[in-house]
């Protein structure tokens, strides 16, 4: 039994904002056509010293999104994928045989042991003489000590490995993850389309404010953030860059495609594909054989109308970003933030 603590909670006085609460004001521009906008951008990784080049829109490591097939389709656009945690080292070897490129495909780990990382790396190196260039550590609550120890152990073992880790939504969380040796911090709690964390726990943070506040902190480390969750259109991607994000991670917008491999289901004579949250009971049943007694499901399952091949969606998405750049005189994604005057609406 523990005594009830009467110390009062603090409350922030400023109103926190979502992507929908802002717009970007247009300005005089020297860019006369969308064709002039080059989307490829360099993102600098401060600890591993990697200079990553590509279009920094990352497919999420969710089931039916972060597949090898998605990774292979997106790498043609120079776009990265955080590949699902649930592939075996041998699956990776097969994917490499089919052309998977480590520049654009990041292995994802959870709260795993450093031994598991070694096992994956050693197996792949033995078979293919290649090593992953960057990895993503993804856990729902990036505030826990054991997670920070895993990041710092990994950094010690692999000084040249790109490490992105999260999720957190506040500057203290960002500082802890950067201090542990990460290059970039994944930001977003409660914003995902199939996430029910805010309903189940009361924890969360509006994504636009999380991006702005975390970017300010990460810049002290010369790192970057990956805005993760809540993107419903190309406009939201632009707003995340305007807030200072290095990468934007996307789940539902990239779901419902052939490459995600979700089986087609018919409803009202239309084809649909499933998407579920990675903390949903569906995901826990599939990967861990069920929901443990001490846990609650923090994700939902939805049906997404089949969108066909992902290249159609990507072309639309990139067109939207190019158009945004012409309105604000940004030559590439890296210039969006400095050229953006955000207005609250
Ligand atoms: P979306 O782009 O669909 O809005 O958000 C994708 C993000 O939602 C993922 O990258 C991940 O961070 C988060 N997410 C995925 N599944 C779940 C879940 O079951 N619960 C919670 N809380 N977040 C999830």
Which atom from ligand 1 is nearest to the alpha carbon of 300?
19
Q: Is the pTM of this model over 0.95?
A: yes
107: pLDDT strictly greater than 80: yes
Q: Is 109 exposed, middle or buried (0-12, 13-18, 19+ CB in 10 A)?
A: buried
The share of the chain scoring above pLDDT 70, in percent, equals: 99
Q: Among 8-17, 50-59, 60-69, 180-189, where is mean pLDDT lowest?
A: 8-17
> Does residue 235 contact residue 24 with C-beta atoms inside 8 Å?
no
Task: Tell me the average pLDDT across 226-238.
Answer: 98
Whether residue 280 has its Cβ less than 6 Å from ligand 1? yes
Task: Tell me the average pLDDT across 217-238.
Answer: 98
pLDDT tens digits along 249-288: 999 999 999 999 999 999 999 999 999 999 999 999 999 9
> Quick one: pLDDT band at residue 1, thresholds 50, 70, 90?
low
Whether residue 251 has its Cβ less than 6 Å from ligand 1? yes
Residue-level pLDDT at 109: 98
Residue in the structure block whose two tokens are 């159609």: 312
Closest CA to 230 of 189, 185, 186, 192: 192
> Quick one: pLDDT band at residue 247, thresholds 50, 70, 90?
very high
Which atom from ligand 1 is nearest to the alpha carbon of 229?
5
> Does residue 21 contact residue 236 with C-beta atoms inside 8 Å?
no
Query: What are the residues facing 137 on neighbouring strands?
Result: 109, 165
Residue-level pLDDT at 302: 96
Residue-level pLDDT at 291: 85
Question: Ligand 1, residues 19, 57, 60: which to mutate, most atoms within 8 A of Cβ?
Answer: 60
pLDDT tens digits along 293-317: 889 999 999 999 999 999 999 999 9
145: pLDDT strictly greater than 80: yes
Between CA 60 and CA 249 the distance in angstroms is 6
Residue-level pLDDT at 24: 98
Residue-level pLDDT at 5: 74
In which element (H, E) is residue 135 found? strand 134-138
Q: What is the Å distance from ligand 1's center to 1 Cα?
A: 35
Residue-level pLDDT at 110: 98
Whether residue 188 has its Cβ less than 6 Å from ligand 1? yes
The answer to whether 67 is a known catalytic residue is no
Question: Ligand 1, residues 62, 188, 207, 257: which to mutate, most atoms within 8 A of Cβ?
Answer: 62
4: pLDDT strictly greater than 80: no
Q: Tokens representing 54?
A: 């590509």
60: pLDDT strictly greater than 80: yes
The answer to whether 325 is a known catalytic residue is no
Question: Ligand 1, residues 85, 194, 198: which to mutate, most atoms within 8 A of Cβ?
Answer: 194
pLDDT tens digits along 165-211: 999 999 999 999 999 999 999 999 999 999 999 999 999 999 999 99
- Backbone phi, then psi, for 264, in 5-degree steps? -75, 135
Torsion angle, alpha carbons of 315, 316, 322, 323, to 10: 150
Q: What is the Å distance from ligand 1's center to 193 Cα?
A: 6
> Does residue 301 contact residue 273 with C-beta atoms inside 8 Å?
no
- Backbone phi, then psi, for 59, in 5-degree steps? -70, 140
pLDDT tens digits along 146-176: 999 999 999 999 999 999 999 999 999 999 9
C-beta pairs of 277-284 under 8 Å, 24+ apart in sequence: 277/62, 277/192, 277/194, 277/195, 277/196, 277/301, 278/61, 278/62, 278/63, 279/140, 279/195, 279/197, 280/194, 280/196, 283/63
Between CA 51 and CA 183 the distance in angstroms is 11
């Amino acid at each position: 039994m523990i005594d009830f603590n009467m110390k009062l909670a603090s409350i922030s006085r400023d109103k926190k904002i979502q992507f929908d609460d802002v717009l970007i004001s247009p300005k005089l521009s020297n860019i006369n056509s969308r064709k002039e906008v080059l989307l490829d951008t360099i993102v600098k990784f401060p600890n591993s010293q990697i200079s990553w080049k590509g279009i920094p829109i990352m497919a999420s490591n969710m089931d039916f999104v972060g597949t090898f097939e998605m990774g292979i389709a997106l790498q043609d656009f120079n776009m990265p994928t955080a590949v699902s945690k649930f592939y075996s080292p041998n699956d990776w070897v097969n994917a490499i045989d089919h052309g998977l490129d480590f520049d654009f495909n990041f292995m994802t780990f959870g709260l795993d042991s450093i031994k598991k990382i070694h096992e994956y790396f050693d197996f792949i190196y033995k078979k293919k003489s290649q090593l992953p260039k960057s990895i993503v550590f993804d856990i729902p609550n990036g505030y826990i000590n054991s997670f920070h120890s895993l990041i710092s152990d990994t950094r010690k073992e692999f000084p040249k490995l790109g490490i992105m880790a999260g999720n957190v939504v506040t500057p203290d969380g960002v500082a802890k993850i950067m201090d542990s040796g990460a290059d970039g911090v994944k930001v977003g709690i409660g914003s995902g389309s199939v996430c029910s964390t805010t309903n189940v726990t009361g924890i969360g943070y509006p994504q636009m404010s999380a991006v702005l506040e975390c970017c300010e902190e990460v810049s002290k480390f010369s790192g970057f953030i990956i805005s993760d969750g809540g993107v419903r259109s190309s406009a939201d991607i632009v707003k995340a860059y305007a807030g200072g994000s290095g990468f934007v991670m996307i789940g539902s917008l990239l779901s419902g495609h052939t490459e995600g491999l979700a089986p087609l289901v018919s409803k009202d004579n239309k084809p649909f594909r499933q998407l579920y949250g990675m903390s949903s009971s569906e995901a826990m049943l599939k990967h861990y054989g069920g929901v443990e007694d001490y846990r609650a499901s923090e994700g939902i399952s939805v049906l997404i109308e089949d969108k066909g091949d992902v290249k159609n969606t990507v072309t639309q998405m990139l067109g939207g970003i190019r158009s945004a750049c012409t309105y604000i005189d940004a030559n590439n994604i890296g210039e969006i933030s400095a050229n953006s005057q955000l207005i609250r609406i």
